[in-house]
Chains A and B, each alone.
Chain A
Amino acid sequence: MNEREYYVPSATYWPIIGSIGVTTLFVGFANQMHGASWGASIMALGFSILVFMMFGWFGQVVNESTSGMYNTQVDRSFRWGMSWFIFSEVMFFAVFFGVLFYARQLSVPWLGGSGNNHFTPDLWNGFSSTWQQIAFSTPGLILQSGTVISVPRQLVDAWGLPALNTALLLLSGVTLTFAHHTLRNGDRNKIIGWLVATIVLGVLFLGFQITEYGHAYHDGLKLTSGIYGSTFYMLTGFHGFHVTVGVIMLTVILYRVQKGHFSADSHFGFEGVAWYWHFVDVVWLGLFIFVYWL
């Protein structure tokens, strides 16, 4: 395509289908949360619409790319688009890390009576502020207030599952870097192996997270378990969602590599997904250190 021409895509219906899919998914989710028996079915329908949209929309863009419709000008617009998307993601997680900082360092100590004259230690009789998680050997221990706050040891023990999951994600960063290196050297067969390893490590991470969420909920740590429970699940849950999105993106890239779509000099699709995965990796490292250690 001529460098002085700009490819303008024709009108497309995929964004509308995507919006319908997301709306359906969340209507189903909200009703599932409120105990509606049909909530899960509506969620499944919304998810199916989303998958359909992804296949259609990704396919359309890939076809346009492989048929030579894109020039360097379009490439630049893709890079800017990805960068703004990444900026929104950085701001998204910055808010949650900010919430963690505010709740832990400021609001909870204030409620305990420290550092602010507006609050007193007698706000609630016997209340003492603490952020540290308390892991009981007795699951489901009932406190005098009637609140269950015990948590499974394996979830909160920083030496256990969190460390294992951190190692898995960091390892996936290494395998992805090897995939990137081999792609830049044009060694297609090796890329596939490294990409598959990255995807498997991501899925393993998600599997451990889901299993431990099940244990945590069963043993009493819930979204409603005070500010700690809310912050913990919002941070780790949204991170898990991003790992899921990353695994889907890596799977699409794997498919494209098998189809021979990327060259050693031109592989923006791979670069965008690779950076996203490195970002998700760093977010987890931050979570691991600030939630469990510092």
Chain B
Amino acid sequence: MTQIIIIIIIIAILIALSIGLLGMLKGGKAGSNKMFKSLVIRVALSLSLFIIVMFSAYMDWIEPNVIMMDAFSFQ
């Protein structure tokens, strides 16, 4: 469930970033406003995602891709 939420927020960030790009491409006052607003949303979503990931890790809802060990046998 946590992973699904993370993926959804990532997709939302990409959409916000894309809308910002379209605003930049359009130019003018309307385009500039569109770009700025979507980038503000992008930043807010990114910060939220970072906090969610760190909190989920703290709560052991997700595991890091790293195994910590003191010894290792290959065979």
Contact = CB atoms under 8 A, between A and B. Distances in A.
A236 interface: no
Interface string A250-294: 000000000000000100100110110011011001101101111
A144 interface: yes
Nearest to A174: B43
A268 B13 CA distance: 22
Interface in A57-105: 72, 75-76, 79-80, 82-83, 86
A149 to B, nearest CB: 9
B55 to A, nearest CB: 12
A159 B47 CA distance: 16
A230 interface: no
Contact of A278 (B39, B57, B62): B39
A177 B49 contact: no
Interface residues of B, number: 40
A286 B3 CA distance: 13
Interface in A116-175: 125-126, 131-138, 141, 143-145, 153, 156-159, 163, 166-167, 170, 173-174
A82 B49 CA distance: 28
Contacts of B43: 170, 173-174, 177, 278
Interface pairs A-B: 9 shortest CB-CB: A126-B75, A158-B64, A156-B66, A173-B43, A137-B70, A143-B74, A133-B66, A134-B67, A83-B25
Interface of A: 72, 75-76, 79-80, 82-83, 86, 125-126, 131-138, 141, 143-145, 153, 156-159, 163, 166-167, 170, 173-174, 177, 180-181, 184, 265, 268, 271-272, 274-275, 278-279, 281-282, 285-286, 288-289, 291-294
22 contacts: A133-B65, A133-B66, A134-B66, A136-B70, A156-B66, A157-B68, A158-B65, A159-B64, A167-B50, A173-B46, A177-B40, A180-B39, A184-B32, A268-B27, A275-B24, A278-B20, A282-B42, A285-B46, A285-B50, A291-B65, A293-B65, A294-B6
